[in-house]
Amino acid sequence: MSTPVIIEAAINGVTAPERNPSVPRSPAEIAADAVRCLAAGAAIVHSHNAEFALDGARAAELYLEAWRPVLRERPDAILYPTAGAGATIADRYAHEVLLAEAGVLRMGLVDPGSVNLGGADELGLPLPMDYVYVNSYRDILHQVELCARYRLGPSVSIFEPGFLRVALAFQRARRMPRGALVKLYFGGDEGYLGGTGVTFGLPPTAPSLEAYLAMLEGCDLPWSVAVLGGDVIASGLARLALERGGHLRVGLEDHAGPRRPTNEELVREAAALARATGRRVASCAEAARILGLPQ
């Protein structure tokens, strides 16, 4: 029997209402959207606060305002935040500590590498900006140790192949905390911060997926696919992943294209595709069991 499909809904990210007016921004909007996505088949919901430059206490307060109504209705929901702002890795992950101590987290962040996540100009060339999403080896150790300390299943972001090599090193050394989900992020035609042209990572193609799966050979970590700056289903990547035993991430953080769908619509499309490939959709409780999330 095939493994049920875990669907993650990444419901906002840095997507502006100008790009899609359905993107939830306020805590009340995030809560309502998360509940709709869970009802449509999502087991995991990932959200950002509308403001980024917040200290850990304020960031945690806003996450709790959004998540507590969700957990009252769906106590089995798997919710997790993004990294925060701050000069040090402890600052950037202070909210995760507070959320874990508040008892609302079962999944934490592990971003095992650094990547350019910029936009593009009218020629499709990189914008002249200095921003790099940086995670040093010391930062990565902090993230892994935080997940271990608070018994959080790591959400392992793979923006580039080097990220996966680092993640696999932790797995081989038996240092990757229990409950990890490897998330293979492919770069779509639009940049994560907007514009069309240069982007990050591997393109959403069959050879790209096969390259990652070759790296994962012999490893029992579950994995999912997403297209940041594109459409994971329209690209054909979602079907390929489902046929190979993978899971799916969809949502307005990632989605780009001519359509203006809602998060709920994207989750329903992912669920329908899963069923069309002969796999049923995992409930929140089943997702926790598949991942082996600590209780």
Q: What is the pLDDT of residue 199?
A: 76
Predicted structure pTM score: 0.96
d(CA 186, CA 167): 17
143-160: average pLDDT: 98
In the chain, what's the furthest Cα-to-Cα distance? Answer: 51
Q: Is 111 exposed, middle or buried (0-12, 13-18, 19+ CB in 10 A)?
A: buried
Element (H, E) at 155: strand 153-158
7-291 CATH fold: TIM Barrel (3.20.20)
Residues 87-118: tens digit of each pLDDT: 999 999 999 999 999 999 999 999 999 999 87
Is residue 194 scored above 80 in pLDDT? Answer: no
Do 49 and 258 touch, CB atoms closer than 8 A? no
191-197: average pLDDT: 70
d(CA 94, CA 265): 33
Q: What is the mean pLDDT of the chain?
A: 95
The CA–CA distances, whole Å, from 233 to 7, 86, 201 equal 13, 35, 18
Q: Give the domain ranges of the chain.
A: 7-291
Sequential DSSP letters for 186-247: EE-SB-TTS-BS--SS--SSHHHHHHHHHHHTT----EEEEEETB-TTTTSHHHHHHHTT-E
The CA–CA distances, whole Å, from 54 to 95, 106, 147, 233 equal 10, 22, 22, 34
223-228 β-sheet, strand order = 78-80, 44-46, 7-10, 247-250, 223-228, 181-187, 153-158, 107-110
**Cα torsion angle, 105, 247, 254, 129, sign:** positive
For residue 67, give the 3-state DSSP assignment.
helix
Amino acid at 152: L
Residues 18-69: tens digit of each pLDDT: 999 999 999 999 999 999 999 999 999 999 999 999 999 999 999 999 999 9
Confidence band for 1, pLDDT divided at 50, 70 and 90: low
Residues 110-142: tens digit of each pLDDT: 999 999 987 777 787 888 877 889 999 999 999
Using alpha carbons only, what angle is made at residue 38 by residues 33 and 41, rounded to the nearest 5 degrees?
125
d(CA 85, CA 144): 18
The CA–CA distances, whole Å, from 105 to 28, 79, 96, 99 equal 19, 6, 8, 6
